[in-house]
């Protein structure tokens, strides 16, 4: 639930999430800038907070990734509810098993680590990027042929 209250040159904004009990309050005052610009900026900021509240997860910063942090097997599922297992290897290669799979076989490829992101492309024309948050990695895969994509979160096994 959110509420905007405009009074002359003031804005008061309150947002509350019923699912995760997060709340946000902001107020502001019209500055020398134009009122339209001020309202647009405040509305954009408010919409961004509402998205965070509705999503049910507080904003987190991804971890810097060291190779030793990600080696091994990670399991979970994607937004199509397919089971996923990523296995990152020391030689910068990976194996992904997706069940069900339209190809009926695992995907393989090479990955790179850059700060807080891991990216790679499989021999099945699927590219992925992930970020690490504690004992989870979250990311997205995209099938390069037709643009179909899904998000996923995996836990270290």
Question: Is the same domain home to 21 and 50?
Answer: yes
Give the span between the Cα atoms of 91 and 73, in whole angstroms: 15
Query: How does residue 44 score in pLDDT terms, banded at 50, 70 and 90?
Result: low
Of the candidates 18, 35, 55, which is a domain's last residue? 55
Question: Is the same domain home to 81 and 116?
Answer: yes
pLDDT value, residue 58:
56
In contact, 13 and 27? CB cutoff 8 Å: yes
- The torsion angles phi and psi of 115, rounded to 5 degrees, stand at 65, -100
What residues make up the domain containing 46? 2-55
Q: How many beta carbons lie within 10 A of that of residue 117, not counting itself? A: 14
Domain count, the chain: 2
Q: Is the pTM of this model over 0.85?
A: no
Q: Which two tokens stand for residue 145?
A: 């042929």
Question: Is the same domain home to 145 and 75?
Answer: yes
Give the span between the Cα atoms of 62 and 69, in whole angstroms: 13
Query: What's the mean per-residue pLDDT of the chain?
Result: 81
pLDDT value, residue 101:
83
pLDDT tens digits, 49-77 = 555 555 555 567 999 999 999 999 999 99
Question: Is the same domain home to 71 and 48?
Answer: no
Please check whether residue 60 lies inside any domain of the structure. Answer: no
pLDDT tens digits, 5-22 = 666 667 666 666 565 555
The domain that holds 92 is classified in CATH as 2.40.128.20
Question: Is the same domain home to 35 and 94?
Answer: no
Q: Look at residue 59 and give its three-state secondary structure.
A: coil
pLDDT tens digits, 96-148 = 999 988 778 999 999 999 999 999 999 999 999 999 999 999 999 999 999 99
Question: Is the same domain home to 10 and 38?
Answer: yes
């Amino acid at each position: 639930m959110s509420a905007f209250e405009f009074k002359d040159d003031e804005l008061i904004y309150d947002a509350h999430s019923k699912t995760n009990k997060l709340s946000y309050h902001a107020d502001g005052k019209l500055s020398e800038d134009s009122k339209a610009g001020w309202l647009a900026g405040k509305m954009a900021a408010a919409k961004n907070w509402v998205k965070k509240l509705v999503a049910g997860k507080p904003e987190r910063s991804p971890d810097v990734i060291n190779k030793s942090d990600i080696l091994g097997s990670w399991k979970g599922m994607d937004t199509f509810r397919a089971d996923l297992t990523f296995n990152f290897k020391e030689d910068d290669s990976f194996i992904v098993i997706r069940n069900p799979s339209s190809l009926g076989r695992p995907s393989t490829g090479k990955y790179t680590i850059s700060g807080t992101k891991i990216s790679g492309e499989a021999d099945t024309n699927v590219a992925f990027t992930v970020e690490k948050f504690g004992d989870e990695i979250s990311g997205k895969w995209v099938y390069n042929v037709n643009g179909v994509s899904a998000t996923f979160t995996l836990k270290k096994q």
